[in-house]
Structure formats: C-alpha cells, structure tokens
C-alpha cells in the first residue's frame, strides 16, 4: 500500500507544469493542435512547420510525464497512436489562455500609449 508521502508526490505541481509548458513554444503549439482536434503525431508534425519527429517525441513524453496529455495506442497494423488532453491538461490550458489574454491586453495598452505620445 502506498504511503501518504508517495501519494503526495504523485500530485501534479501546477507551477512546474506551467513553467515547463509556457516556457516552450513547441509545447504550447502541440497543446493548441491537440485542443483543436489534431491528435495524431504525423498530423501534428504536418500542422506545425519546423517541428521534428525527435522534438515532438520529447515533448509528448514530457507532457505525459507532467500529466498534461495522455496517449492511446490502438492495436492495429500499422500501429496508430493518438494523444488527448487529460482533465489536468484542460485546466492547465485554461490558465495558459488567461496568460495569453493578459499578454494581449498589455500589448494593446502599450500600442495605445505609443500612439498617444
């Protein structure tokens, strides 16, 4: 049976997750693609010019480790894999949307103040 300390260590650290995801352009773009229904690795790679298979694999693994996305592997030939947002991932995206909104507001205010001067 898992001790209380082990159970607590399994709780996602929101600050670490936000830092890891928001600090990387590829994480944000991959999450946006998944949120928009693009869930297969090949389709995500095509939708995001410049994203390599190696980089994509790293960020998939990292976001699975953080609990932001999950992976479904279908027992087919050829194998098919799809990624999805976890409930935690959906909540993290809400936070990221707020951060983006604040950034847009600040940029608008800055542009407006530049026009006044």
Q: At 57, is the pLDDT very low, low, confident or very high (cuts 50, 70, 90)?
A: very high
Helix (H, G, I), strand (E, B) or coil at 70: strand
Q: What is the pLDDT of residues 71-107, one digit of tens each?
A: 999 999 988 999 999 999 999 888 888 888 888 888 8
Phi, psi of 19 (to 5 degrees): -60, -45
Is residue 43, in this structure, part of any structural domain at all? yes
Q: What is the pLDDT of residues 32-51, one digit of tens each?
A: 899 999 999 999 999 999 99
Is residue 58, in this structure, part of any structural domain at all? yes
The total number of structural domains that make up the chain: 1
Phi, psi of 50 (to 5 degrees): 100, -15
Q: What is 22-65 written as a DSSP string? A: HT-HHHHHHHHHHHTT--SHHHHHHHSTT--HHHHHHHHHHHHH
d(Cα 64, Cα 23) in Å, to the nearest integer?
A: 16
With beta carbons less than 8 A apart as the criterion, state whether 68 and 85 touch: yes
Phi, psi of 77 (to 5 degrees): -125, 120
Is residue 83, in this structure, part of any structural domain at all? yes
Is residue 4, in this structure, part of any structural domain at all? no
Is residue 112, in this structure, part of any structural domain at all? yes
- In CATH, what number is assigned to the domain containing residue 102? 1.10.10.10
The whole domain housing 106 covers: 13-116
d(Cα 35, Cα 37) in Å, to the nearest integer?
A: 5
Instruction: Report the predicted TM-score, pTM, of the whole model to 2 decimal places.
Output: 0.75
Provide the 8-state DSSP code for 1: -
């Amino acid at each position: 049976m898992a001790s209380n300390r082990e159970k607590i260590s399994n709780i996602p650290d929101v600050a670490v997750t936000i830092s890891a995801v928001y600090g990387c352009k590829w994480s944000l773009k991959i999450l946006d693609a998944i949120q928009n229904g693009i869930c297969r690795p090949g389709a995500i790679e095509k939708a995001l010019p410049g994203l390599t298979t190696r980089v994509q694999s790293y960020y998939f693994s990292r976001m699975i480790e953080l609990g932001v996305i999950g992976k479904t592997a279908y027992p087919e030939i050829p194998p098919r894999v799809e990624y999805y947002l976890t409930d935690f991932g959906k909540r993290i995206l809400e936070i990221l949307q707020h951060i983006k909104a604040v950034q847009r507001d600040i940029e608008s205010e800055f542009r407006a103040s530049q026009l006044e001067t």
